[in-house]
């Protein structure tokens, strides 16, 4: 009986060790949304977490196009025509990508939606615009988007992760 108990204990320990070793991080779905000038603007994404990893410059390499999120490519849907920086974006659904560099980032709006977050096709790019960077006072563990109103027809699209905030202002167009 003692041998059987020891065997069961060893099997249980092996199962727990295997579960910890094979643990995969999950990136839950998240949404950032705002209504400005009576028009809805929504970002839908899957939010990965740092889990002790260095993000920018390592997990997300400098100078390579990155989908800010996981699983399905991050999407933006707008009920209004928008101008992001220098980019005029018609209302509709799009995917958003970023090309991060140490000193400057570029927002990329792509015509495809619903693709896997690693399936970037530059031939489907609608346009690009520069983003503003700032260092956050405290780290953000889980990737977060915000769509912030800043007037009757203006706002800011921002993503925050690690100690970086990358943002771009936008204006609603007729």
Burial 41-63 (b: 16+ CB within 10 A, else e): bbbbbbbbbbeeeebbeeebeee
pLDDT given for residue 10 in this prediction: 40
Q: How far apart are CA 102 and CA 56, in angstroms?
A: 8
Structure tokens at 36: 């400005």
Question: pLDDT digits over 25-52, tens only?
Answer: 789 999 999 999 999 999 999 999 999 9
Name every residue whose Cβ is closer than 8 Å to that of residue 81 and which is 6 or more positions away in sequence.
88, 89, 90, 91, 172, 173, 174
Question: pLDDT digits over 117-133, tens only?
Answer: 999 999 999 999 999 99
Helical residues (DSSP H) of the chain, grouped into ranges: 2-21
**pTM recorded for the entire structure:** 0.85
Q: How far apart are CA 72 and CA 56, in angstroms?
A: 20
User: How many other CB atoms are found less than 10 A from the CB of residue 112?
Assistant: 17
Confidence of residue 136 (pLDDT cuts 50, 70, 90): very high
């Amino acid at each position: 009986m003692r041998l059987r108990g020891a065997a069961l204990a060893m099997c249980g320990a092996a199962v727990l060790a295997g579960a910890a070793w094979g643990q995969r991080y999950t990136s839950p779905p998240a949404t950032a949304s705002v209504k400005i000038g009576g028009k809805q603007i929504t970002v839908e994404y899957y939010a990965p977490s740092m889990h002790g990893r260095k993000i920018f410059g390592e997990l997300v390499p400098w100078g390579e196009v990155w989908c800010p999120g996981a699983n399905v490519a991050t999407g933006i849907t707008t009920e209004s025509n928008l101008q992001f920086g220098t980019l005029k974006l018609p209302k509709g659904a799009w995917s958003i990508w970023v090309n991060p560099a140490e000193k400057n980032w570029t927002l990329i709006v792509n015509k495809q939606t619903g693709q896997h977050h690693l399936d970037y096709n530059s031939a489907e790019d609608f346009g690009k615009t520069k983003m503003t960077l700032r260092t956050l006072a405290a780290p953000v563990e889980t990737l977060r988007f915000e769509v912030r109103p800043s007037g009757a027809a203006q706002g800011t699209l921002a993503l925050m992760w690690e100690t970086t905030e990358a943002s771009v202002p936008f204006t609603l167009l007729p």
